[in-house]
Amino acid sequence: MTIDPGDFIAVIGNNGAGKSTLLNTIAGTLPADAGHLTLAGHPVTKRSVAYRSHWLSRVFQDPKLGTAGELSVAQNLTLAASHTGSLSLRRYRRRGQTERYRKLLATLEMGLEDRLNVQVKYFSGGQRQALSLLMATLSQPDLLLLDEHTAALDPKTSREVMDLTQRIVTTHRLTTLMITHKLSDALRYGNRLLMVQDGQIKLDVRGAAKAALRQDQILQLFAE
Amino acid sequence: MLMTSLGQGLLWAPLVIGVFLTFRILDIPDLTTEGSFPLGAAVTISAMLAGASAITASLLGFLTGCVAGWVTGVLDTKLHMPSLLAGILTMTGLYSVNLHIMGKANIPLLNQKVLTAFLPATWSVTWQTIVVGGLVTGVVVILLILLFQTRLGLSLMATGNNPQMSAANGIATDRMVIIGYMVSNGCIALSGALIAQSNGYADIGMGIGTIVIGLASVLVGEIFLRGQRMGVRLLGMVLGAIIYRYLLTLAMGLGFPVNDLKLLSAVILVIVICLPLLQTKYRTHQQVTRYLNQIGVDQNATTSRVTSQSSAKGLLSGNSQRTSRVKGREFDD
């Protein structure tokens, strides 16, 4: 399977079909039993999660996992801004950083820009997930992994985060792989759709073919 | 009496800071303490007997503590042992190592110059202890504050708080945990070096109960001084170490025999764990009652149910999801 630059792929499939396995293997939290994985030209099959993070970012399903709750918004953003130099003995607070973070947070329209020094644990799931999304895109990754990132949110917040996702992915032209359980989201967003079943990719449609796809056709496939 | 406790507290402060680093920042209960504390003492006193100056010997003590921390860190991260077991293994191994370093179970200093001997001889021993303890602890606190302003310090905090997120943001979490263990046990060994010089000897049994002293002091410190800023938290630890000494002195003054000291420190730890829990429970109860009165509901049944749920956050329930989940289950029923 090849992910082309600029792809926005929605991955669907039953529980236990292998969606998360696919994503975790790419992210490095699961070792690959067989095969090879190349990220932006770098062979990473046997490399650590931290090494792979040079090219990819990830938003988790659980809003708590994507951010460090004890750390402030600004500290979380600093960690996400660069995936290198974590051993550096230079001060992490840089001049002009506050202004930059403020502007970025203002794009979320959640009022987070005035709470830069508040610990993230005091925010709601929706706010934390929006922050995770912003953090994941801050390092301009070659690949963005979204792991059912709206599943733990209420319907309204879920829609807001999904809209935000669409906006960010389009503005930064991010290559994205999104797992979702919502068929409507899978059909509405992205230029390519993957359907996983029994550990195999059952369907891989893109472009016009994907746009023409209807919900009942997919349900039909699920039933088979 | 008060001044003696202050001096002793300052000598114990690096140990409390060390325990704080693993227990609060990395969210790991590290039992290596019981071995690295006498290790620092053994190395320092042996080095001084071999002719090293008190400063060199103390720094050597610090460095060997770091090595002990490295061992536990490697056992924990690279060999994937539970951190409690990793600490127990290092601690047990260190007992023999310490005996080898010292040659026998207790080595006294003869007439070597200890750190306090660098101060004017006209000062009383109490004041000399306070100044030396204050200086060393001050340097440790300042260096740590500086460390936590660097990217490395931020990565350490992030790793302890949320390892998955840290790894996903490019932090080599194993390396961070090992560094944390090293700095922590270095501080603990430094404390051992100071105490041994103050006592005038190193003893194989001086590590027993140090983890309880450390944890109790951390909790006491947090009762008096809490905050988000690292400087405040570290000062809280120093305060905790001092107040803990006062508590012990107070208890001894009540007539407890020296043999009961360890039992006493265990009881103090139990009390300081329970106290904040009861405090939270009481406060929540008050809040809920006030709220229910406000909205005009008077149902004792509701009050008690809500209270028991909201007080589920204990002092020991750490930072990470892992610990709070386990603790949450314990208190949920």
Q: What is the pTM of this model?
A: 0.87
Distance of CA B162 to the CA centre of its chain: 21
Buried b / exposed e along B303-315 (16+ C-beta atoms within 10 A)? beebbeeebbebb
HSE at residue B332, side-chain half, CA atoms within 13 A, is 7
Chain B residue numbers touching A92 (CB-CB < 8 A): 149-151, 153-154
Query: Which of these ranges, A37-41, A137-141, B314-318, has the smallest mean pLDDT?
Result: B314-318
Pairwise CA distance, residues A7 & A16, whole Å = 25
Q: Is B162 in contact with A65 (Cβ distance < 8 A)? A: yes
Distance of CA B11 to the CA centre of its chain: 12
Nearest to A65 among B150, B158, B164 (CB): B164
Q: Is A79 in contact with B166 (Cβ distance < 8 A)? A: yes
DSSP chain A: --PPTT-EEEEEE-TTSSHHHHHHHHHTSS--SSS--EETTEE-TT--HHHHTTTEEEE-SSHHHHS-TTSBHHHHHHHHH-SS-TT--SBS--TTHHHHHHHHHHTTTSSGGG-TTSBGGGS-HHHHHHHHHHHHHHT--SEEEEESTTTTS-HHHHHHHHHHHHHHHHHHT--EEEE-S-HHHHHHS-SEEEEEETTEEEEEEEHHHHHH--HHHHHHHHH-
Nearest to A71 among B157, B175, B176 (CB): B157
> How distant is the Cα of B144 from the closest Cα of chain A, in angstroms?
12
> How confident is residue A34, by pLDDT bands cut at 50, 70 and 90?
confident
A187/B298: higher pLDDT: A187
> How distant is the Cα of B304 from the closest Cα of chain A, in angstroms?
25
SS3 B179: helix
SS3 B315: coil
Optimal mutation site among B151, B174, B176, B226, interface A, most CBs of chain A within 10 A:
B151
SS3 B18: helix
Pairing of strands A143-147, A176-179: parallel
Q: Is B152 in contact with A87 (Cβ distance < 8 A)? A: yes
> How distant is the Cα of A198 from the closest Cα of chain B, in angstroms?
27
pLDDT score of B151? 93
Q: pLDDT exceeding 70 applies to what percent of chain A?
A: 100
Query: Which of these ranges, A16-25, A210-219, B239-248, has the smallest mean pLDDT?
Result: A210-219
Optimal mutation site among A54, A58, A71, A79, interface B, most CBs of chain B within 10 A:
A79
Search chain A and give the residue with CA nearest B143.
A89
Domain B2-279: give its CATH code.
Answer: 1.10.3470
Chain A residue numbers touching B172 (CB-CB < 8 A): 48, 50, 86-87
Report the 10 Å Cβ neighbour count for B53: 14
CB contact set of B220 (below 8 Å; sequence gap of 6+)? B239, B240, B243, B244, B247, B272
Chain B residue numbers touching A79 (CB-CB < 8 A): 154-155, 158, 166, 169, 171
- Using one digit for the tens of pLDDT, what is the confidence trace for B35-72? 999 999 999 999 999 999 999 999 999 999 999 999 99
A56 beta partners: A143
Task: Delimit the domains of chain B by residue range.
Answer: 2-279, 298-332
Pairwise CA distance, residues A18 & A80, whole Å = 28
Q: Is A69 in contact with B161 (Cβ distance < 8 A)? A: yes
> How distant is the Cα of B263 from the closest Cα of chain A, in angstroms?
34
Search chain A and give the residue with CA nearest B26.
A70
> How distant is the Cα of B147 from the closest Cα of chain A, in angstroms?
7
Chain B residue numbers touching A29 (CB-CB < 8 A): 164
Pairwise CA distance, residues A30 & B288, whole Å = 46
Helices (H), chain B: 2-20, 33-49, 54-77, 83-102, 125-147, 151-161, 163-168, 173-199, 210-224, 230-253, 261-294, 300-310, 321-332
Search chain B and give the residue with CA nearest A71.
B158
Q: What's the Rg (C-alpha) of chain B?
A: 21
Q: Is A86 in contact with B171 (Cβ distance < 8 A)? A: yes
pLDDT score of B214? 95
User: Which residues of chain B fall below pLDDT 50?
Assistant: 303-315, 317-333
Place of tokens 């693993």: B22
SS3 B141: helix
Q: Is B168 in contact with A53 (Cβ distance < 8 A)? A: yes
Search chain B and give the residue with CA nearest A74.
B154
Spell out which chain B residues touch chain A, with contact meaning CB-CB distance below 8 angstroms: 149-155, 157-158, 161-162, 164-173, 175-176, 228, 319, 321
Search chain B and give the residue with CA nearest A137.
B169
Q: Is B166 in contact with A57 (Cβ distance < 8 A)? A: no
Chain A residue numbers touching B230 (CB-CB < 8 A): none
pLDDT score of B7? 94
Q: Is A68 in contact with B162 (Cβ distance < 8 A)? A: yes
Cα torsion B23, B134, B115, B183 to 10°: value is 20
Spell out which chain A residues touch chain B, with contact meaning CB-CB distance below 8 angstroms: 27, 29, 48-51, 53-54, 57-58, 60, 64-72, 75, 78-80, 82-93, 119, 135
Chain B residue numbers touching A49 (CB-CB < 8 A): 167-168
pLDDT score of B221? 94
Between the alpha carbon of residue B82 and those of residues B66, B70, B74, B325, the distances in Å are 20, 15, 11, 17
> How distant is the Cα of B228 from the closest Cα of chain A, in angstroms?
8
